[in-house]
Amino acid sequence: MLTSKQRAQLRGLANGMQAIFQVGKGGVGDALIKQVDDALEARELIKITVLENAQTTSRAVADEIAVKVKADVVQVIGSKFILYRESKEHKEIVLVK
């Protein structure tokens, strides 16, 4: 569980990032979950966009993916959301206490 200070730190780090995945009308499939899981292991912090033709909200998609990959939802704003999970092998982000 992230504290508010940790969330603020991660939001700042993600501010200049581009979204690396898009969720469309196909929704959240096994291939997307695998790719997100791999990306979180490599980067720890990722941004994802939910397209307008998706059948659900950005919050619902963020929560669903976060549960499946055991990540924390840092922020959901508009059609984008940010996920964080500490990497086991490529740890680069040091969170504030």
Percentage of the residues of the chain whose pLDDT score is greater than 90:
79
Residue pLDDT, tens place only, 43-90: 999 999 999 998 899 999 999 999 999 999 999 999 999 999 998 888
Domain borders along the chain are 4-84
Q: Nearest-CA neighbor of 17 among 57, 44, 54?
A: 44
Q: Residue 60 and residue 20: Cα distance in Å, rounded? A: 18
- Name the DSSP letter for residue 60: H
CATH superfamily of 4-84: YhbY-like (3.30.110.60)
